[in-house]
Every structure is written in structure tokens, then in C-alpha cells.
Amino acid sequence: VSNDWKNDKADEPVVINLNKLDLGFTAKSAVVWDGDKEIPSQLDDMNGDARADELAFLVDIPGKTSKNLRIVFSNAKSNKQYPARTYAQMMAYGHNNRLAYISGFSAPGTENVYSFVYHHGPAFESELVGYRIYFNEKQTVDPYSKVQKRLEIKETRFYPTKEQLANGYGDDALKVYNSGGVGALKGWDGKETMHIMPVLNRTERVIASGPVRAIVEVEVLGWEYQGKELNMTNRYTLYGGHRDIQVDALFDRPLDKETFAAGVQILKEGDHMTDHDGLLGSWGTDWPVNDTIYHKKETTGMGTFIPKAIRIQETEDSSNYLYTIQAPNTYGFRYYTTFTSLKETFGYKGMKEWFAYLKEWKKVLEHPCKVTIK
């Protein structure tokens, strides 16, 4: 793993595609070594066939240096557990309003199942932030703010009790209205963003729940959009030690010139920034929920970075600051989005500080480490 950049990298994601390795067996466990130090890792089944497709881990690597790591794969399962740095959760209502943990939920596009799934879609978190994805045509990315660095959605289920709030737990941080919230991918009609509809079928699922990374997906089949019928999967990946999400939009056929949009929500009582080169940010204050008795106004910031290869034009609509996106002749594209809350004891203390961070965050994204398999 080589860091050719001048700056040190902390919690740098490394992903190994097992399908490109000639192991000769199905990997059921793996151990990653940095010298005599073991690095926490996880094997993930990305396509639902019960076989691992990727190995993921995080490394710290100084600027202008390289590390030689050793990976040992095995066809035997392991009971080893690493400290959890991420978590993902999806739940559904059953008889007598009992809740069950589920790995996914699917429904025809004509069905309104938004309230049949707890916290309205999958929720996922790192130590720094949490998010959920709405199970409806909005497919909005809605954030959860932390006060302290810790995993807590398993306890609060995105809706903390009064006692939990009094004891410093986080909460739903933003009223997203009809916007894209934190960087959700939207359709584009030339003037306004469009929800993901109509579709034949919509599925949301949890792919991975830690310890290194959490992955959730939203899949739509038969999306009638710009004269086409698209099968699209939006994959959201959150790594330990990170507040930013890697967003992958994946398609089963090469794209033509379909135009999409993503950016940041226009926030009340605030302002925004742009570097006119792919980076957008916003900062503001609003009520996060309709209940104004037991909840306080939240001050939040967000940012989205759209790489040059896919961005078309900087624009905005009534709810969002945006870039339009095209990726002709490809099976998909990737961009990044992130979030903060003023109530974090470990975070950013104002708009100026947050916007400065976003510029540094973009530089980190533009200088990934290089991975070579020997």
C-alpha cells in the first residue's frame, strides 16, 4: 500500500477484490498483518450468493511511504471478533407491532411501505455519524447527529428516548423535506430534481454491518426515466473513523446520456460554499422533527464532492445546491458525501471551520493510496 501524497493518511480504506485472486478455494476467513501487528478486517458478500467477494480493512500510513502487508486466507470459518467501528440495522414491523431484524425488504413500486419498515429504511453509522435511507420514491439520505464518539443506533434505533437524550445520545438531525438531504442521487428534469419513480420494484438491504465498514443498498427495477427503463443500485459505504459516505450508482447496462443530480440540501438560517470544481457545502439551523417540545433546533453542515469525470454543470433548484452528472458508456459512477452537527463534542464549531474542512476532505479523496498485490 503506497501513499504517494505528502500528507499522512489515517483509516485509509483498502479493498481487495477476491474474484480477481486465484485462491483455489472459497475464502471464509482472513487475517491481515502489518509486520507482527494484526489489522482488523472483514469479508463481505456483495452479490448475495453467500460467498465473500471483497476483503476490507483500514490502514494508517505516513506521507510519501509504503507498507508491505501480508494477508492469510482460509477456507475455515473463524470466530474471531474485532472491535466494532460501524453498524447497520434494518427492522420491520410484525404481529402486535413486534419488530424483527431483517437483512432487506422488497416491494412493488406502487406499494407505500414507508411506515412498514422501522426508521423508514436501513440505518447505519460509524463512531462519528449516522444515516438512514428513506424507503420510498425520495430515497433521501437523512443524517443522525452524535454528541460523543460511539456506536449507538443499536440502542436508540434512530429514535432516542427522553432518558437517552438526557444522557447524551444522538438523534435525527435534519428535516429533509423534499430535498436530497445529504447527497442523495436524484433524477433531473432540467430545472428541478426528481424522485426515483415510477419503478416496478424497490428493495433496500443491509450488505455489511461492520466491524470495519457498513454497507447498505437501494435497488430499483424498471425505473422509467428519460425514455429508458433503468435497473439501478445505489450503494452507500461508511468506514470506521469516517463521517463521509462513498456513494456508488450501479447499473446492469451501460448508460447513455441520462442526466442525474446530487449535492447538498439548502439549509435554513445558514449559507453554502462551492469551489466551482466539484465541491459543495452547506451549513444551517432548523427543527429536525415536527416535535418542538422535546427536541431543539439542530445546526448541521454537509458536503458533497462530485469527481470531474462525471460532473456536467453546477446548478441549484428550490431545495438543493447541485451538480448534474452523466457517465455515458459506463456501468455506473462514484461520488462522496458527508455531514456534521454542531452538537458534536469532537467536531467543528462553526460554518467557517466546516467549510475549511470540506476543502481538506476533497484533497484527501483526490489522493487515494495505491494498492499492489504481489
Q: Is the pLDDT of residue 315 over 70?
A: yes
Q: Is the pLDDT of residue 294 over 90?
A: no
- Average pLDDT estimate for 288-310: 86
| One-letter-per-residue 3-state SS of the chain | CEECCCCCEEEEEEEEEHHHCCCCCCCCEEEEEECCEEECEEEECCCCCCCCCEEEEEEEECCCEECCCEEEEECCCCCCCCCCCEEEECEEECHHHCEEECCEEEEECCCCCCCCEHHHCCEEEECCCEEEECCCCCCCEEEEECCCCCCCHHHHCCCCCHHHHHCCCCEECCCCCCCCEECCCEEECCCCEECCCCCCEEEEEEEEECCCEEEEEEEEEEEEECCEEEEEEEEEEEECCCCCEEEEEEECCCCCCCCEEEEEECCCCCEEEECCCCEEEEEEEECCCCCCCCCCCEEEEEEEECCCCCEEEEEECCCEEEEEECCCCCCEEEEEEEEEECCCCCCCCCHHHHHHHHHHHHHHHCCCCECCCC
293 — pLDDT class (breaks 50, 70, 90): low
CA 256 – CA 331 distance, rounded (Å) = 10
Q: Is the pLDDT of residue 292 over 80?
A: no
pLDDT, residue 349, reads 94
How does pLDDT run across 205-222, given as a tens digit for each residue?
999 999 999 999 999 999
Q: Which of 189, 215, 366, 187 is nearest to 279 (CA)?
A: 366
**Which cell numbers hold the place of 100?**
424483527
Choose between 292 and 128: higher pLDDT. 128
pLDDT, residue 64, reads 98
Q: Is the pLDDT of residue 23 over 90?
A: yes
Q: Are 130 and 219 within 8 A, CB to CB?
A: no
Q: Are 268 and 342 within 8 A, CB to CB?
A: no
CA 159 – CA 288 distance, rounded (Å) = 12
pTM reported for the whole predicted model? 0.96
- Average pLDDT estimate for 8-14: 97
**Which cell numbers hold the place of 169?**
445520545
pLDDT, residue 289, reads 72
First to last CA, the chain: 11
**Which cell numbers hold the place of 213?**
465498514
Q: Are 227 and 301 within 8 A, CB to CB?
A: no
pLDDT, residue 219, reads 98
- Average pLDDT estimate for 48-57: 96
How does pLDDT run across 159-193, given as a tens digit for each residue?
999 999 999 999 999 999 999 999 999 999 999 99
Task: Give the C-alpha distances (Å, rounded to integers) separating 335 from 46, 94, 154, 172, 214.
Answer: 19, 36, 28, 24, 17
Q: Which of 362, 186, 327 is nearest to 254 (CA)?
A: 327
CA 110 – CA 89 distance, rounded (Å) = 25
Rg (CA), the chain: 20
- Average pLDDT estimate for 33-37: 96
313 — pLDDT class (breaks 50, 70, 90): very high
Task: Give the C-alpha distances (Å, rounded to integers) separating 110 from 114, 141, 199.
Answer: 12, 21, 8
Return the minimum-mean-pLDDT range out of 90-104, 192-206, 266-280, 330-344.
Answer: 90-104
CA 159 – CA 291 distance, rounded (Å) = 12
